Amino acid sequence: MTIVSSPQTVSTEPELNGFDVHKIRSDFPILAEKVRGKPLIYLDNAATSQKPRAVIDAISHVYEHDYSNIHRGVHTLSERATAAYEESRQKVQRFINADSEKEIIFLRGTTEAINLVAQSYGGANIRAGDEILITGMEHHSNIVPWQMLCERSGAQLKVVPINLNGELLIEQFEQLLCDRTRIVALSHMSNALGTINPVEELITMAHQHNIPVLLDGAQAIPHMAVDVQTLDCDFYAFSGHKLYAPSGIGVLYGKAEYLEAMPPYQGGGDMIRRVTFEKSEYNAIPYKFEAGTPSIADTVGLGAALDYLDDVGMDMIAAHETRLLDYATEQTRQIPELKIIGTAANKGAILSFVLDKVHPHDIGTVLDHFGIAVRAGHHCAMPVMDFFEVPATARASFAMYNTFEEIDSLMAGLKEVIEVFG
Ligand X SMILES: Cc1ncc(COP(=O)(O)O)c(C=O)c1O
Catalytic residue IDs = 380
Segment 318 to 357, residues that bind ligand X, using CB under 6 A: none
Nearer to ligand X, 7 or 348 (CB): 348
Q: What DSSP letter does each residue of 341-387 carry, written as one string?
A: S---SSB-SEEEEEETTB-HHHHHHHHHHTTEE-EEE-TT-HHHHHH
Burial class (CB in 10 A: 0-12, 13-18, 19+), 109: buried
Selected from 58, 88, 105, 109, the binder of ligand X by CB under 6 A is 109
Q: Which is nearer to ligand X, 102 or 108 (CB)?
A: 108
Binding piece for ligand X, criterion CB under 6 A, among 63-71, 104-112, 223-231, 318-326: 104-112
CA 382 from chain center: how many Å? Answer: 17
Closest CA to 401 of 40, 12, 8, 6: 40
Site string for ligand X, 357-386 (x = CB under 6 A): -----------------------x------
Pairing between β-strand 375-377 and β-strand 38-39 as defined by DSSP bridges: unpaired
Shortest Cβ distance from residue 112 to ligand X (Å)? 7
Q: How far is the CB of 129 from ligand X (least distance, A)?
A: 28
Is the preceding omega at residue 286 within 30 degrees of 0, hence cis?
yes
Report whether 214 contacts 118 (CB < 8 A): no
CB of 47 to ligand X, least distance (A): 6
- Closer to ligand X at the Cβ: 42 or 404? 42
Shortest approach of ligand X to residue 189 CB, angstroms?
7
Closest approach of ligand X to the CB of residue 52, in Å: 19
Task: Say how many Å lie between the first and final Cα of the chain, rounded.
Answer: 13
Q: Which is nearer to ligand X, 45 or 409 (CB)?
A: 45
Site string for ligand X, 111-150 (x = CB under 6 A): x---------------------------x-xx--------
Name the residue nearer to ligand X (CB basis): 110 or 153.
Answer: 110
Instruction: Report the residue number, 93 or 219, with the smaller CB distance to ligand X.
Output: 219
**Looking only at residues 224 through 243 of this chain, which bind ligand X when binding is defined by CB under 6 A?**
239, 241
Shortest Cβ 113–ligand X spacing (Å): 8
Distances in Å between the Cα of 416 and the Cα atoms of 3, 4, 368, 373 are 8, 7, 12, 15
Q: From start to end of 188-307, where are the E strands? A: 213-216, 235-239, 250-254, 272-275, 280-282
Give the one residue of 131, 216, 290, 298 binding ligand X; rule: CB under 6 A.
216
Contact 40, 371 (CB under 8 A): yes
Residue from 45, 82, 93, 110 binding ligand X (CB under 6 A): 110
- Taking the C-alpha atoms of residue 227 and residue 221, their distance in angstroms, rounded to an integer, is 10
Minimum CB separation of residue 319 from ligand X in Å reads 22
Cα(240)–Cα(285) distance, rounded to whole angstroms? 21
If one asks whether residue 195 binds ligand X (CB under 6 A), the answer comes out as no
222: left (phi over 0), alpha (psi -120 to 50) or beta: alpha
CA 70, CA 296: separation in Å to the nearest integer?
8
Q: Which of 120, 135, 187, 397 binds ligand X (CB under 6 A)?
A: 187
Q: Which residues pair with 239 in a beta bridge?
A: 250
**Residue 189, amino acid:** M
Amino acid found at 350: I
Nearer to ligand X, 191 or 295 (CB): 191
Tell me how far, at minimum, the Cβ of 216 lies from ligand X, in Å: 5
Q: Residue from 105, 150, 186, 218 that binds ligand X (CB under 6 A)?
A: 218
Q: Give the total of residues touching ligand X (CB under 6 A).
A: 14
Q: Round to whole Å and give the CA distance between 132 and 160.
A: 11
Only segment of 14-22, 82-90, 109-117, 285-293 that touches ligand X (CB under 6 A): 109-117
Residues in contact with ligand X by CB under 6 A are: 109-111, 139, 141-142, 187, 191, 216, 218-219, 239, 241, 380
